[in-house]
């Protein structure tokens, strides 16, 4: 007889619908790999009476009672796909308190409340998996947590927001203004009606906070991460980037300084000049990529679809399968998988402490002496000029 693992979905939007579709389409393959079926037994939604949904489901599975859904005795894994941080935090902690394992795609929840959630899960002896929270369908969490477990990450550079990458890629190809391409991105579904989190860098900062915790074993305050959005980029900046052999990409950057275990962490989010010959320069459209520099392996790159119904659902369902394996291992008497090491406090470098190269563009009156005045001012601030156009 095939064993069954009960699943509760919190939310049935784009990703939730993708999870249902993937569980149905790949049911036989999942059962063969796991040795059990993953069965959706309850779905919490805001409006049970809603007529049109992303995917058709048995109406008997739907409920508006989130607390009742996470407490059901026939549910083993709660999949939080609500979004936001208020209801999602309450529901996640309630699921953990009820002894349920949790899968989430919620980067804001983990970036802002991860310490509380992981501590609660540790006390309750349950798992919290979150592959879909960063880079959608690209398995960067699993790579950092398991594939590089014996290595030491020294630095990372990533393109983790598809909306920003799509806009800058399209600007580079067409030289059209930022505002026009943003409207196109909204029409295509790449950008939200309120795109502030995406284009302002907030979404990427949440993801960077999660990556810093995984790579460097410390928790950073998202609000303290220096963050700039892409709305400052104009077509003329792309012209200058071309002239010097660069492209402009929306990067997250993190690097350890000093002692590998206790030294300060550099973390920042902003559009940056990337050499046209570098791997990240070719990451176009809405794709995501993470470039990792580690002690033993050296450089490695992870690339793919950073969002979308099925790519994100794939990561969610993969987490369910992994938790299912953990459940069966414990039933068989195997020890509980090793938990991540507790986060250690490490200082976050301010942007004023970071020495790097910058591109500066000035709008000035075209008259004698202006360039000299600029050089004098920059020199007074100990800024060396590499090239002037």
| Predicted confidence (pLDDT) at residue 297 exceeds the cutoff of 90 | yes
Is the confidence at residue 216, as pLDDT, over 60?
Answer: yes
Q: Angle at CA 94, nearest 5°, toward 23 and 7? A: 15
Q: In this predicted structure, what is the pLDDT of residue 336?
A: 61
- Please compute, for residue 27, the number of CA atoms within 13 A of its CA located in the half-sphere on the CB side: 12
pLDDT at 114 over 70: yes
Instruction: Please tell me whether residues 296 and 157 are part of one structural domain.
Output: yes
Backbone angles phi, psi at 197, to 5 degrees: -60, -40
Angle 202-216/107-124 helices, nearest 10 degrees?
Answer: 40
Catalytic residue among 50, 100, 107, 207: 207
Q: Examine residue 360 and state whether it is found in any structural domain, yes or no.
A: no
Residue 128 belongs to some domain of the structure: yes
Does the annotation count 287 as an active-site position? no
pLDDT of residue 24: 95
Cβ count near 223 (within 10 Å): 10
When mean pLDDT is compared across 252-261, 324-333, 337-346, the lowest value belongs to 337-346
Length of the chain: 389
pLDDT category, 308, cuts 50, 70, 90? Answer: confident
Nearest to 7 by CA among 78, 64, 66: 78
For residues 150 and 280, membership in a common domain is answered with: yes
Same domain (yes/no): 156, 283: yes
CATH of the domain at 184: 3.30.360.10
Q: Are residues 175 and 264 in the same domain?
A: yes
CATH number at residue 115: 3.40.50.720
Pairwise CA distance, residues 215 & 290, whole Å: 12
Q: What mean pLDDT, rounded, does the chain reach?
A: 93
pLDDT value at 338 more than 60: no
pLDDT, residue 332, reads 63
> In this structure, are 251 and 232 located in the same domain?
yes
Position 339 pLDDT exceeds 60: no
Q: What is the pLDDT of residues 69-91, one digit of tens each?
A: 999 999 999 999 998 999 999 99
Q: Does residue 21 fall inside a structural domain?
A: yes
Last residue of a domain, one of 290, 306, 322: 306
User: What is the number of domains present in the chain?
Assistant: 2
159 belongs to a structural domain = yes
The pLDDT value given to residue 283: 97
Does 154 reside within a domain? yes
- Percent of the chain exceeding pLDDT 90 equals 83
On the question of pLDDT at 209 being above 80, the answer is yes
Over residues 252-277, the mean pLDDT reads: 95
Q: Is residue 389 part of a domain?
A: no
Confidence of residue 335 (pLDDT cuts 50, 70, 90): low
Q: By the 8 A CB rule, do 177 and 235 touch?
A: yes
* pLDDT reported for residue 188: 82
* 125 Rama sector, left if φ>0, alpha if ψ -120 to 50, beta otherwise: left
Q: Are residues 294 and 160 in the same domain?
A: yes
Identify whether residues 326 and 240 lie together within a single domain: no
The answer to whether residues 104 and 233 belong to one domain is: no
Q: Do 109 and 174 fall within a single domain?
A: no
pTM, entire model: 0.93
pLDDT over threshold 80, residue 337 = no
- With respect to residue 22, please indicate whether it lies within any of the assigned structural domains: yes
pLDDT tens by residue, 34-62: 999 999 999 999 999 888 888 999 999 99
Confidence of residue 387 (pLDDT cuts 50, 70, 90): confident
Residues 86 and 182 in one domain: no
Q: Yes or no: say if 281 and 249 are a contact pair by the CB < 8 Å rule.
A: yes
pLDDT at residue 201, rounded to an integer: 96
Burial-class residue 193 by CB neighbours within 10 Å (0-12, 13-18, 19+).
exposed
Structural domain range at position 195: 145-306
* Residue after which a domain boundary falls, among 331, 364, 379: 331
**Residue 329: band (very low, low, confident or very high) from pLDDT cuts 50, 70, 90:** confident
- What pLDDT, on a 0 to 100 scale, did the predictor assign at position 52? 83
Are 239 and 129 within one domain? Answer: no
Confidence category of residue 65, pLDDT binned at 50, 70, 90: very high
**Could you tell me if 126 and 152 lie in one domain?**
no
Q: Which residue has the higher pLDDT, 68 or 389?
A: 68
Kindly state whether residue 58 falls inside one of the protein's structural domains.
yes
């Amino acid at each position: 007889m095939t064993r069954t693992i009960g699943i509760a979905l919190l939310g049935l939007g784009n990703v939730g619908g993708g999870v249902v579709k993937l569980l149905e389409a790949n049911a036989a393959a999942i059962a063969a790999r796991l040795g059990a079926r993953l069965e959706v037994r309850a779905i919490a939604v805001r409006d049970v009476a809603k007529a049109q949904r992303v995917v058709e489901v048995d109406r008997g599975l739907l409920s508006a009672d989130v607390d009742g859904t996470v407490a059901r005795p026939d549910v083993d894994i709660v999949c939080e796909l609500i979004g936001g941080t208020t209801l999602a935090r309450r529901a996640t902690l309630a699921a953990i308190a009820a002894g349920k394992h949790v899968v989430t795609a919620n980067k804001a929840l983990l970036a802002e409340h991860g310490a509380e959630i992981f501590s609660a899960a540790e006390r309750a002896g349950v798992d919290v998996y979150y592959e879909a929270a960063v880079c959608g369908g690209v398995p960067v969490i699993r790579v950092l947590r398991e594939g590089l477990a014996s290595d030491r990450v020294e630095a990372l550079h990533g393109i983790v927001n598809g909306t920003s990458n799509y806009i800058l890629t399209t600007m580079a190809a067409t030289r059209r203004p930022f505002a026009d391409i943003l409207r196109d991105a909204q029409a295509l579904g790449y950008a939200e009606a309120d795109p502030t989190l995406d284009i302002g860098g907030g979404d990427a900062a949440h993801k960077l906070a999660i990556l810093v915790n995984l790579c460097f074993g410390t928790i950073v305050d998202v609000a303290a991460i220096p963050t700039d959005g892409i709305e400052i980029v104009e077509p003329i900046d792309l012209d200058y980037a071309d002239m010097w052999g660069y492209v402009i990409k929306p990067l997250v950057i993190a690097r350890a300084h000093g002692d590998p275990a206790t030294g300060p962490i550099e973390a920042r989010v902003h559009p940056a000049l990337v050499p046209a010959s570098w791997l990240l320069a070719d990451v176009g459209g809405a794709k995501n990529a993470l470039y990792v520099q580690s002690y033993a392996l050296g450089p490695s790159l992870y690339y793919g679809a950073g969002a979308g119904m099925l790519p994100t659902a794939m990561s969610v369902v993969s987490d369910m399968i992994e938790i299912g394996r953990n459940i069966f291992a414990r039933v068989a008497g195997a020890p509980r998988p090793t938990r991540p090491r507790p986060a250690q406090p490490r200082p976050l470098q301010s942007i004023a402490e970071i020495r790097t190269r910058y591109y500066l563009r000035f709008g000035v009156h075209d008259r004698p002496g202006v360039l000299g005045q600029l050089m004098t001012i920059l020199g007074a601030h100990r800024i060396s000029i590499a090239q002037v156009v």
